């Protein structure tokens, strides 16, 4: 398989995504992967083309991961943190040297970066379902995002529900909000930028 083919969505990955949702819907959060329209909007909103270090929380089977890799500069690094071992194994198959698959919890961003000698992130992206997790866990993840971001770095969360906005306001302040209707289900995209004094 060529490197270009590896970056294209693979049919068996869609079945793996559905299987992951059916086994643990509170972790996966959606029945199908993101649409290409949502992926493109996420890439633009997070400023991926200019980022040197990108962190992806809950990459699933790698649809958005592929979109990020296509947009990233050659010397950038993408740390994809995935709690589902099966999904993490699928991500490893992408074989892109810029991709670091970290099997673990979304609240451990700093330790994932430090394990690979990486500085703070320029962008953190998350599709994990904040609406299904306990408030304390969600706030722990959001504080972990804030601590991992460089000043001026962007956090972009794409969600079906608006709970992340309510919780994110406590950590980052008000969000910039967009909608992407060309996705099943339609998604809200929230963007925060870490302040210089945060």
CB burial readout 46-69, b (16+ within 10 A) else e: bbbeebebbbbbbbbbbbbbbbbb
State the pTM of this model. Answer: 0.84
Contacts of 174 (CB under 8 A, 6+ apart): none
Report whether pLDDT(16) > 90. no
Each residue's pLDDT tens digit, 23-56: 555 544 454 678 999 999 999 999 999 999 999 9
Each residue's pLDDT tens digit, 133-178: 999 999 999 999 999 999 999 999 999 999 999 999 999 999 999 9
In the block, residue with structure tokens 């962008």: 123
Q: What is residue 3's predicted lDDT score, i.e. its pLDDT?
A: 44
- Where exactly are the structural domains of the chain? 3-193
Q: Are 51 and 72 in contact (CB under 8 A)?
A: yes
Q: What percent of the chain has pLDDT over 90?
A: 78
Whole-number Å distance between alpha carbons of 42 and 88 = 21
Taken in order 117, 120, 124, 128, the sign of the CA dihedral is positive
| Kind of pairing between the strands at 187-193 and 176-180 | antiparallel
Total residues belonging to the chain: 198
Q: Does domain 3-193 have CATH number 3.40.50.150?
A: yes
Q: What is residue 198's predicted lDDT score, i.e. its pLDDT?
A: 57
């Amino acid at each position: 398989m060529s490197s270009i083919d590896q970056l294209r969505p693979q049919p068996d990955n869609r079945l793996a995504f559905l299987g992951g949702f059916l086994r643990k819907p509170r972790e996966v959060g959606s029945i199908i992967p993101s649409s290409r329209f949502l992926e493109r909007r996420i890439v633009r909103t997070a400023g991926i083309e200019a980022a040197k270090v990108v962190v992806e929380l809950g990459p699933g089977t790698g649809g958005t991961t592929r979109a990020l890799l296509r947009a990233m500069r050659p010397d950038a690094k993408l740390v994809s943190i995935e709690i589902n071992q099966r999904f993490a194994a699928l991500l490893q198959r992408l074989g892109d040297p810029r991709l670091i698959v970290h099997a673990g919890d979304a609240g451990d961003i700093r330790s994932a970066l430090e394990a690979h000698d990486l500085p703070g992130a320029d962008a953190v992206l998350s599709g994990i379902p904040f609406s299904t997790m306990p408030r304390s866990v969600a706030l722990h993840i959001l504080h972990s995002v804030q601590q991992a971001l460089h000043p001026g770095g962007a956090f972009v969360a794409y969600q079906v529900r608006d709970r992340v906005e309510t919780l994110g306001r406590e950590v980052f302040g008000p969000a910039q909000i967009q909608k992407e209707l060309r996705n099943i289900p339609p998604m809200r995209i929230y963007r925060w930028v870490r302040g210089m004094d945060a």
